[in-house]
Structure 1
Amino acid sequence: MDRKAPAQDEPLFVTRPQLPPLEEVMPYLEEIWRTHQLTNKGPFHEQLEAALCDYLGVEHISLFANGTLALVTAMQALRLTGEVITTPYSFVATANALLWNDLTPVFVDVDPVTLNLDPEQVEAAITPKTSAILPVHVYGHPADVDGLQDVADLYGLRLIYDAAHCFGVEDEGGSILRHGDLSILSFHATKVFNTFEGGAIVSPDARAKQRIDYLKNFGFANETTVVAAGINAKMNEFQAAVGLAQLKHIDAAIHARARIDARYREQLAAIPGIRCHTPSTARRHNHAYFPIFVEDDFPLSRDELYFRLREHGIRGRRYFYPLIPEFPMYRNLPGNDRNEWPNAHEAAERVICLPMYSELGQEDQDTVVQAFNPDEI
């Protein structure tokens, strides 16, 4: 059922977390209260790992308290050193995880259409200090996995995917999460599938999963043996219970997002100067975000449109602006020059992500699109 258009004090945010029916969560909570098992690989944690492996079509997954801890731990698990080539066009957590591991980010430009890392630019940036490549599947659209794997294989580099946006996304071979050495998911409240906070690492084999599971639990191999300088990054039973309840509704949520995506594209196609992000060739999308780009022939600049939308109660987000290398902790890195990322810079100066969530009603969507009408500007 469509919601009514928001009141002036009820803005339309870029996302609205999906929640399962409360009555479906209560039996899980009652079981937690009965057993007093709150964390440390409880039954719901184990059930969710198995259920996600089945749903996502992967063999090994390790649950985490959040996606950033998963990223940090993934780099520890692969024992990376030196430089890691990554994208300037992402959420800052992508690069922050590198700094937390005392790794040096090397930013290279993105493809102008997909906005994902360009393999040719990656290859050109490799030095003797390079140990890995960290691409992002931006907006849930798969990166050039074959091209990036070719570069990684040629130079003997590790390949870690920040797949925070990619829950349920598939290419012709199956889950996009099967690519690279490791793939990292986020189950943050803003994501297609959420456990309030949460995340996961998808591993290629049982041995890799075992090391990751040690690292996320202080490095404990058993009650008296610590094998690594791990951290506490475990997902608790409440998060896992929410995830089990959410998973029952995820297909319906993705189908709803697909309808919203199609309707945006149909309505915005008639507005000169507004360009929708080109859909990827993935076999299955999850429609995680709906980015548009404000071109020169639109009567307002990107920022003017952004603030106009806010005046109408529409809280879009400029994902991703500024670029990561423009934040203070990255600005003075050797070789950090914004002229090296013209495609990323162009996208960052033009992008607005519009409200996109499964419960977005048609009336609310019409409110968003009407704010673009040149006759109203």
Structure 2
Amino acid sequence: MSSSNIFVTRPSLPPLAEFVPYLERIWDSGILTNGGQMHRELETALAAHLRVPQISLFGNGTIALVAALKVLELEGEVITTPFSFVATTHALKWNGLEPAFADIDPVTLNIDPARIEERITERTSAILAVHCYGNPCDVDAIEAIARRHGLKVIYDAAHAFGVDCHCGSVLTHGDLSVLSFHATKVFSTLEGGAIVAPDAEMKGRIDRSKNFGIVSETEVESVGINGKMNEVQAAFGLLQLRRIDAAIAARARVAARYDAGLAGIAGIEPVPSSGQIRANHAYYPVRVRPSFPVDRDTLYEALKARGIFSRRYFYPLISDLPMYRDLPSADPAGLPAARAAGAEVLCLPIYPDLSEAEQDRVIEAITEVGR
């Protein structure tokens, strides 16, 4: 591909020379995994930065989500959103759980609490909600529903690193919150993820679950998995954490320029940052409304032809995929808001190193297509 291409995201990499001292520490220790010094340091640093009680690191966010569902010992059905990355629902299937799709709020694009209550049956054991684009779910309403019906609540917080809602860190809500530290995320450990837990007892259960269920050299207490984060990942995370505030500030500047540059284009409607007291600007999603001269897919292709690679997050809906579309809750008639969002939302390029000239190319291209 040409160097002039603009991608929807790009990993934020520090100077390689700054990573070398971390690698030297790993080489000196001779420890590459199994909860080494870098791993312990990153858990401590992240818990402090995110203002959460306990955090357990994983090799990737999907394994973290699979493990979170497993340690809660869920059965039957789990109510979730069709408007997310497929890993959200795949994690349920890996645990032998049946997803029940509830429609989303047409403004926030998060799962709609009123639609959750409609999906509850005697087989429902939990709610798996997603803070879509970092916009906090209606956590108070969701947790009130969970209390009334005796359900667990898990938040897929893959988009919500460092996000605050009305009462502080959004990561402190629910029984567990799960983060992704994939290379495309605001905070990255190359691959990686984490579970935020409310107390040390739950963290201990989670830690054992990601290490085969091992308690001691001779004792295995449960069926676990190998989900550990290695020392190189953790070291990269420690280096990235030093720069995270500057990276988020740079993302905020990009978002503000989009706000100004797109304001006069009829039919291009940014998805509002609903409920974020402190935002991370992980994505810049817009809705391509019928008043725009072409539909979302046509705009997507027109941008790609100009070397601008946006993403249709999230299309197709999870409920439309072959392994899920035959579920009763996947009936398109019951998911009108999700279907509308799936047809209209386009995420524009955003990352700390996106230059003003590159961003102007994106805005000019949308303007040109819309004439």
TM-score band by shorter chain is over 0.9
- SS in structure 1 at match of 2:46: helix
- 1:310 equivalent among 295, 304, 308: 304
**In structure 2, which of residues 241, 254, 266 is the aligned counterpart of residue 260 of structure 1?**
254
Which of 148, 152, 155 in structure 2 is aligned with 1:154?
148
Equivalent-residue separation in structure 1 for 2:323 and 2:86 (angstroms): 11
> CA deviation digits over 1:117-144, x for unaligned, max 9?
1111101110000000000000001000
Gap runs ≥5 in structure 2: none
**Which residue type is aligned with residue 261 of structure 1?**
A
Q: Cα distance, 1:334 vs. partner?
A: 3.2
TM value normalised by structure 1: 0.97
- 1:124 match: 118
- Kindly report which structure 2 residues correspond to 1:322-333, keeping only aligned pairs within 5 A, or say none: 322-333=316-327
The percent of aligned pairs where both chains have the same amino acid is: 57
Q: Work out whether 1:194 is the aligned partner of 2:188.
A: yes
Name the aligned partner's letter for residue 290 of structure 1: Y
The corresponding residue for 1:3 is: none
After the TM superposition, which residues 241-252 of structure 1 pair with which residues of structure 2 at under 5 Å, given as runs? 241-252=235-246
Distance 2:362 2:278 in 1: 26
Task: Look up the equivalent residue of 2:249 and give its one-letter code.
Answer: H
- What TM-score, normalized by structure 2, do the two folds share? 0.98
2:33–2:229 contact (8 Å) kept in structure 1: yes
Which digits, 9 at most, give the CA deviation of each residue in 1:255-313, with x for residues without a partner? Answer: 01111101101110111111111122321000000001111111111111000000111
User: Which of the residues 211, 219, 232 maps onto 1:225?
Assistant: 219
Contact kept, 8 Å, 2:292 with 2:370, in 1: the verdict is: no
Report which stretch shifted further, 129-138 or 365-374: 365-374
Give SS of 1:331's match: coil
Q: 2 CA distance for matches of 1:336 and 1:235?
A: 35
* Matched letter for residue 234 of structure 2: A
What amino acid does structure 1 have at the position aligned with 2:68? A
Letter aligned with residue 148 of structure 2:
L
Equivalent pair of 1:299/1:374 in contact (CA under 8 Å) = no
Cα distance in 2 for partners of 1:361, 1:98 equals: 39
Q: 1:374 and 1:251 mapped to 2: Cα distance?
A: 35
My pick for the range that moved more, 276-285 or 138-147, is 276-285
Tell me if the contact between 2:294 and 2:370 (Cα under 8 Å) persists in the aligned partners.
Answer: no
Greater CA deviation, 78-87 or 288-297? 288-297
CA shift, 1:16, in A, is 0.4
What is aligned with 2:56? 62
- Helix, strand or coil for the counterpart of 1:285? coil
2:215 match: secondary structure: strand
Alpha-carbon RMSD: 1.1
Q: Does 1:364 align with 2:365?
A: no
The Cα offsets for residues 3-38 of structure 1, whole Å up to 9 and x where unpaired, read as xxxx94542111001112212210110111111100
Amino acid across the alignment from 1:331: R
User: Does the 8 Å CA contact 2:102/2:335 hold for their aligned counterparts?
Assistant: yes
2:187 aligned with 1:177, yes or no? no
How many positions carry a matched residue from both structures?
371
Runs (5+) with no aligned partner, structure 1: 1-6
Counterparts of 1:39 and 1:26, CA distance in 2? 18
Pick one of 6, 22, 31 that aligns with 2:16.
Answer: 22
Deviation at 1:335, TM superposition (A): 3.8
